[in-house]
Amino acid sequence: MNDLDLSKPILLYGSSISYFTGKMENYFRVKEISYEQKVLSYPRFERTMKQKVGIHQMPAVELPDGRWMTDTTKMIQWFESKIPENKIIPEDPVQAFFAFLLEDWADEWWWRTAMHYRWHYSEGAHFASRHLAEELLSSIPLPIWIKKIFLTRRQRNGYTIGDGITKENIKTVEDDFLKLLEILSNIFDKRKFLFGNRPSIADIGFSGPFFRHFALDPVPLEIIRQKAPKVLSWVTNLWNARVSKIDDDFEKGIPKDLEPLLREIGKVYLPYLSANVDAVRQNKTKFDFKFGNVFLKNARYSLYRIWCLKELRDRYNKLEEKDKTQVEILLKKFGCWEPLWRDKNLPLIDNQEEDLPFRADRKMLGVNE
Ligand SMILES: N[C@@H](CCC(=O)N[C@@H](CS)C(=O)NCC(=O)O)C(=O)O
């Protein structure tokens, strides 16, 4: 049933410097879905979201018929199912599997690095705390300097030092980012987007960390300008892309230069998801994770990311046999197969996230505050 009314704009509630709000904006733009970005200030936004979708996080979408939605991953899938033209999900199921894997990595792994560059460095923290204080906390009658201190502490305690980053491991977190830039530069040297000259769900995923964070916050922006200007072009290319006007198709199969990204997923991200499974099982809200160069101390556990792992597995399980064989061969080649299936019986709660995008059970990190 098509219950999407596009005759009126969709409302997108969120901050104009938010990771996931920026991701949703990139999606709406490339897909030419008209939307109006709106700010609801706190504490009203938090109250309204909890009432409408069960938890509070950014962004939220309000449909013209009054329904509210949350979670960019499931919202995008919902819009894609309602608007079959100009798809950003590749038709080739094997390609689609890997595009979703890249999207998940962009959403869940690069969040910490993005928060680090924004909140650890005073240039980033000054800019972002002032912006958020004025944008989101305007109805709270306190001086701006107090709001700035509050926001900076909240974000550091929640997402940087509170999520595994220490003085000792900052370098490994930053080296991880430099490696990402190198791999992406090599790709965008040859074509406009990850799977070809048209954007896919993988590009939309990466717009999360890049559009409102790495390509906006002073410290990472300068690094990108100096070391990876091609990546900056990709950010603008995506923002300007309109799928309806692009005739190019995706490249065939999995382009060879995506392999280093997929190998990183196998080496670091999937083992991290597995360490998170252990932590949730033992109800350890903080856990250490060490792999190769990456070393996190007291990272926050996440029930939401257990569900992300389940989603990746479900996506594989739903493939036709011939595609399964091909995906398995590729996952094995990239070192992703074993960590994807390492843990049996994931510690999910009953029916977790089954009502997304209209109702959510868990926030991205920790328990629901
Ligand atoms: N999986 C969610 C994640 C949304 C999310 O975590 N958004 C951040 C802001 S960009 C947030 O609202 N965090 C909640 C908080 O800081 O309390 C999505 O895809 O929409």
Residue that wins the pLDDT comparison between 294 and 210:
210
Closest CA to 155 of 197, 126, 185: 126
Mutate to test the pocket of ligand 1, among 45, 363, 365 (most ligand atoms within 8 A of CB): 363
Q: What is the pLDDT of residue 292?
A: 87
Q: What is the pLDDT of residue 366?
A: 61
Predicted confidence band of residue 145 (pLDDT cuts 50, 70, 90): very high
Q: Which two tokens stand for residue 169?
A: 């491991």
Q: For residue 364, give the ligand 1 atom closest to its CA.
A: 6
Class of residue 317 by CB neighbours under 10 A (exposed 0-12, middle 13-18, buried 19+): exposed
Which residue's alpha carbon is at the smallest distance from atom 18 of ligand 1? Answer: 71
CA of 284 to the centre of ligand 1 (A): 22
Dump pLDDT digits (tens) for 309-356: 999 999 999 999 999 999 999 999 999 999 999 999 999 999 999 999
Dump pLDDT digits (tens) for 225-272: 999 999 999 999 999 999 999 999 999 999 999 999 999 999 999 999
Dump pLDDT digits (tens) for 70-116: 999 999 999 999 999 999 999 999 999 999 999 999 999 999 999 99
Find the residues whose C-beta lies inside 6 A of ligand 1: 18-20, 57-58, 71-73, 107, 363-364
Q: For residue 22, give the ligand 1 atom closest to its CA.
A: 10
84 and 4 Cβ atoms separated by less than 8 Å: no
Q: What is the pLDDT of residue 7?
A: 87
CA of 53 to the centre of ligand 1 (A): 13
Fold of 10-82: Glutaredoxin (3.40.30)
CA of 18 to the centre of ligand 1 (A): 8
Class of residue 44 by CB neighbours under 10 A (exposed 0-12, middle 13-18, buried 19+): exposed
Which residue's alpha carbon is at the smallest distance from atom 6 of ligand 1? Answer: 364
